[in-house]
Amino acid sequence: MLTLTDVGKRYPTGDRALTDIQLTLPKGQVMALIGPSGAGKSTLIRCVNRLVEPTQGSIRLEDIELTKLSGNRLRHARRSMGMIFQEYALVDRLTVMENVLSGQLGYVGFWRSFLRRYPQDAVAEAFRLLERVGLPHAIDKRADALSGGQRQRVGIARALLQSPKLLLVDEPTASLDPKTSRQIMRLIRELCAERELAAIINIHDVALARQFADRIVGLRAGEIVFDGQPSELTSEILTTIYGEEDWDTTPEPADDEETDEQEKEREAHRYQSGRDLRRLASLADGGVR
Ligand SMILES: Nc1ncnc2c1ncn2[C@@H]1O[C@H](COP(=O)(O)OP(=O)(O)OP(=O)(O)O)[C@@H](O)[C@H]1O
Ligand SMILES: [Mg+2]
């Protein structure tokens, strides 16, 4: 249902982020996209919903050529792609329900959502989704009163409110504990199966990718260097993707204390997810903001 042909991206800075990407994703398939930092995972996802303009190639969603769309038709096509970020990408001061309904921006328009007048059927659907993701009791809570896992459940419900055909997921578990990470991945997987949704999930945790994806694609320096089943992902292939490392031993658990480096990275992701959301919202509304 999603086909990328010869997709390439060179940023204006000269950074070549993607080269000759060929990828076909059938309906209902959950694909994990793995690769080292800077490999081009986020760029690939953003090219699909055109938050980033590919500089080469074509991207088709069913019979629609996404790379040729603009204006209303692009806005319409974007509704069929739900985006899930790290759990930070919620508006803290809004309630759970309001955060979920903000997924309707493309339908109800900026001013109606600004005034918080949502159509009844959207509210009813949001209730159903919050129940499905396990948060029926948190509807009126403010987003900043939730745990990381609960926040991510809100993000998932928000992405599903548009009834997408495809989910684009950028590091959904990057800041969650191991148990919560598995629960979130399991939930995404189940929802894809229930709704015949295809998904591209960028993920750093190889074990999670193995456990929950139907297919794994490995990117290195903007090129696909592996495309296969989780069972085919050997230590040799991991070395091809990530470079030299002893893949058969389990590393010592890391110190819980967050390093400056990790904190900086977390902030950078938070900033990028917030920017992506605001852009999607303003684009959905014809650029009112
Ligand atoms: N807006 C931008 N302008 C210029 N270069 C960019 C931009 N965004 C990304 N890049 C560059 O493109 C390359 C791919 O970046 P991208 O963010 O897609 O990698 P990633 O695999 O998602 O990394 P991470 O795992 O750290 O999230 C990197 O070299 C990066 O520096
Ligand atoms: Mg990224």
- Judge whether 137 lies within some domain: no
Per the model's pLDDT, the better-predicted residue between 106 and 245 turns out to be 245
In order of 77, 106, 114, 162, the CA distances from 282 in angstroms are: 15, 9, 12, 16
From the number of C-beta atoms within 10 Å of its C-beta (0-12, 13-18, 19+), residue 168 rates as buried
- Judge whether 211 lies within some domain: yes
CA dihedral 3, 172, 160, 97 (to 10 degrees): -160
- Judge whether 184 lies within some domain: yes
Nearest residue by C-alpha to atom 24 in ligand 1: 37
How is residue 253 annotated by DSSP?
P
Nearest residue by C-alpha to atom 12 in ligand 1: 17
Give the structural domain span for 15: 1-80+166-247
E strands, the chain, where? 2-10, 16-25, 30-34, 56-61, 64-65, 81-84, 166-170, 198-202, 215-220, 223-228
Sheet holding 64-65, edge to edge: 16-25, 2-10, 56-61, 64-65
Report the number of distinct structural domains present in the chain.
Answer: 1
Quick one: which ligand is closest to 17's CA?
1
The pLDDT score that the predictor gives to residue 70 is: 87
- Judge whether 28 lies within some domain: yes
Q: Is the pLDDT of residue 115 over 60?
A: no
pLDDT 10s digits, 117-150? 677 888 899 999 999 999 989 999 999 999 999 9
| Structure tokens that stand for 24 in this block | 């076909």
Quick one: which ligand is closest to 39's CA?
1
Per the model's pLDDT, the better-predicted residue between 265 and 114 turns out to be 265
What spacing in Å lies between the alpha carbon of 100 and ligand 2's midpoint? 23
Atom of ligand 1 nearest to the CA of 40: 18
Q: Are 269 and 88 in contact (CB under 8 A)?
A: yes
- Judge whether 227 lies within some domain: yes
- Judge whether 123 lies within some domain: no
Q: Is the pLDDT of residue 252 over 70?
A: no
pLDDT 10s digits, 69-85? 988 888 889 889 999 98
- Judge whether 95 lies within some domain: no
Q: Based on C-alpha coordinates, what's the Rg of the chain?
A: 19
Q: Is the pLDDT of residue 152 over 50?
A: yes
The pLDDT score that the predictor gives to residue 288 is: 32
| Contacts of residue 99, Cβ cutoff 8 Å, sequence gap at least 6 | 90, 91, 143, 154, 158
* CATH (domain of 243): 3.40.50.300
| pTM (2 d.p.) | 0.87
pLDDT 10s digits, 193-241? 999 999 999 999 999 999 999 999 999 999 999 999 999 999 999 999 9
The pLDDT score that the predictor gives to residue 120 is: 81
| Structure tokens that stand for 281 in this block | 């919202």
- Judge whether 76 lies within some domain: yes
Nearest residue by C-alpha to atom 1 in ligand 1: 11
Q: Any residues with Cβ below 6 Å from ligand 1, and which?
A: 11, 13, 15, 17, 35, 37-43
What spacing in Å lies between the alpha carbon of 274 and ligand 2's midpoint? 14
The pLDDT score that the predictor gives to residue 250 is: 59
